[in-house]
Chains A and B, each alone.
Chain A
Amino acid sequence: MNFNKKEMDLLAVQIRKNILRAIASKGAGHVGGSLSIADTLAVLYGCVMNIDPKHPDKKDRDYIVISKGHSGPAMYAALAAKGYFGEDVLDTLNKNNTILPSHTDRMKTPGVDMTTGSLGQGTSLASGAALADRLNGSSNYTYLIVGDGELDEGQVWEAALFTAHHHLTNLITFVDANGKQLDGTTDQVCCLGSIEQKFEAFGFHAITVEDGHNTLQIYNAIMEAQQEKEKPSVIVLHTIKGAGIKKYMEMDNCHSTTVKMEELSGFYAELDHQGEMA
Chain B
Amino acid sequence: MNEVKTGEKELRKVFGDTLKTLMQENKDVVYLEADLAGAIGTSGLIKEYPEQAFDVGIMEANMVGTAAGMSVKGKIPFVHSFGTFASRRCADQTFLSGCYNKANIKIVGSDPGITAETNGGTHMPFEDMGIYRSFPEMTILDVAEPHLLAEILKEMAVSYGVMYVRFPRKGKECYYEETQKFTIGKGVIVKEGTDASIIASGIETAEALRAAEELERDNIHVRVVDMFTVKPLDEALVIKCAEETGAIITAENHNKIGGLGSAVSEVLAENIAVPFKRVGIPDCFGEVGDKKFLAEKFGISQKDIAAAVKEVLKKKK
A residues adjacent to B (C-beta < 8 A): 105-107, 113-118, 120-121, 123-133, 135-136, 154-155, 158-159, 161-162, 165-166
Q: B90-130: which residues lie under 8 A (CB-CB) from chain A?
A: 92-93, 95-97, 100-102
The 4 nearest A-B residue pairs measured at CB: A128-B69, A124-B65, A132-B73, A158-B62
Chain B residues at the A interface, C-beta cutoff of 8 Å: 30, 51-52, 54, 56-57, 59, 61-75, 77, 92-93, 95-97, 100-102
Q: Give, as a whole number of angstroms, the nearest-CB distance from B173 to chain A.
A: 36
Beta-carbon contact of B65 and A159 below 8 Å: yes
| Chain A facing B: main interface SS | helix
B72 touches A113 (CB 8 A): yes
- B70 CB to nearest chain A CB (Å): 4
Contacting residues, chain A, for B62 (C-beta < 8 A): 123-124, 127, 155, 158-159, 161-162
8 A–B pairs (Cβ distance < 8 Å), ordered by A: A114-B72, A114-B101, A118-B97, A124-B66, A125-B69, A132-B72, A154-B61, A155-B93
Contact A124 B93 (CB under 8 A): yes
B230 to chain A, nearest CB (A): 25
- Report chain A residues within 8 Å CB of B96: 115-118, 121
Which residues of A sit under 8 angstroms from B51, Cβ to Cβ? 135
A121 & B93 in contact (Cβ 8 Å cutoff): yes
Q: Verify A124–B68 contact, CB threshold 8 A.
A: yes
- Which B residues are CB-close (under 8 A) to A117? 96
Among B54, B74, B97, residue most surrounded by chain A Cβ atoms (within 10 Å) = B97
Q: Are B69 and A124 in contact (CB under 8 A)?
A: yes
Residues of chain B within 8 A of A124, CB atoms compared: 61-66, 68-69, 93, 97
CB proximity of A8 to chain B, nearest CB, Å = 28
- CB-CB under 8 A from A118, the residues of chain B are 92-93, 95-97
Cβ-defined partner of A121 (8 Å) among B57, B59, B97 = B97
Sample of 17 more A-B contacts, CB < 8 Å, known A124-B66, A155-B61? A106-B101, A107-B102, A114-B101, A123-B65, A125-B66, A128-B73, A128-B77, A131-B54, A132-B69, A132-B70, A132-B75, A135-B75, A155-B65, A158-B59, A158-B62, A159-B62, A162-B59
Question: Chain A contacts of B65 at CB under 8 A?
Answer: 121, 123-125, 127-128, 155, 159
- Out of A115, A120, A135, A161, name the residue touching B100 (CB < 8 Å): A115
> Chain B residues near A166 (CB, 8 Å)?
54
Complex: how many Å from CA A127 to CA B52? Answer: 15
Q: Residue on B with the closest CB to A136?
A: B73
CB distance from B73 to the nearest CB of A (A): 4
Cα A130 to Cα B56 in complex, Å, equals: 15
Which B residue sits closest to A103, measured CB to CB?
B96
Q: Which of A114, A130, A131, A154 has the most CB of B within 10 A?
A: A131
Instruction: Point out the residues of chain A lying under 8 angstroms from B102, CB to CB.
Output: 106-107, 115
A161 adjacent to B101 (CB under 8 Å): no
Contacts of A113 in B (CB 8 A): 72
In the assembled complex, the CB of A129 is this many whole angstroms from the nearest CB of chain B, namely 4
Residues of A within 8 A of B52 (CB): 135
Residues of B within 8 A of A126 (CB): 69
- Decide yes or no: A125 and B97 within 8 Å by CB, A131-B66, A162-B56 being known contacts: yes
- B60's nearest neighbour on chain A, judged by CB, is A158
**B64 and A132 form a contact (CB under 8 A):** no
CA distance A161 to B65 in the complex (A): 14
A136 neighbours in B (Cβ, 8 Å): 73-74
A268, B101: Cα distance in complex, Å: 35
User: How far does the Cβ of A141 sit from chain B's closest Cβ, in whole Å?
Assistant: 13
Given A114-B101, A121-B92, A125-B65: A131 and B70 interface contact (C-beta under 8 Å): yes
**Contact between B66 and A159 (Cβ–Cβ < 8 Å)?**
yes
> Which A residues are CB-close (under 8 A) to B63?
124
Residues of B within 8 A of A128 (CB): 65-73, 75, 77
Q: How far is the CA of A92 from the CA of B223 in the complex (A)?
A: 56
In angstroms, Cα B94 to Cα A124, docked, is: 12
* Distance, CA A154 to CA B227, complexed state (A): 38
Please measure, in the bound complex, the distance between the C-alpha atom of A155 and the C-alpha atom of B56, giving whole angstroms: 13
Chain B: CB-nearest residue to A107: B102
User: Which residues of A lie under 8 Å from residue B100 when comparing CB positions?
Assistant: 105, 115
Tell me the minimal C-beta distance from A42 to chain B in angstroms.
25
The distance in angstroms between the C-alpha atoms of A162 and B71, with both chains bound, is 17
**Distance of A166 Cα from B56 Cα, bound (Å):** 10
A121 partner residues in chain B, CB cutoff 8 A: 65, 92-93, 96-97
Partner of B66, one of A115, A120, A162: A162
Q: In the complex, which of the residues A123, A125, A159, A165 contacts B72, with contact meaning CB atoms closer than 8 Å?
A: A125
- Give the shortest distance, in Å, between A103 (CB) and chain B (any CB): 9
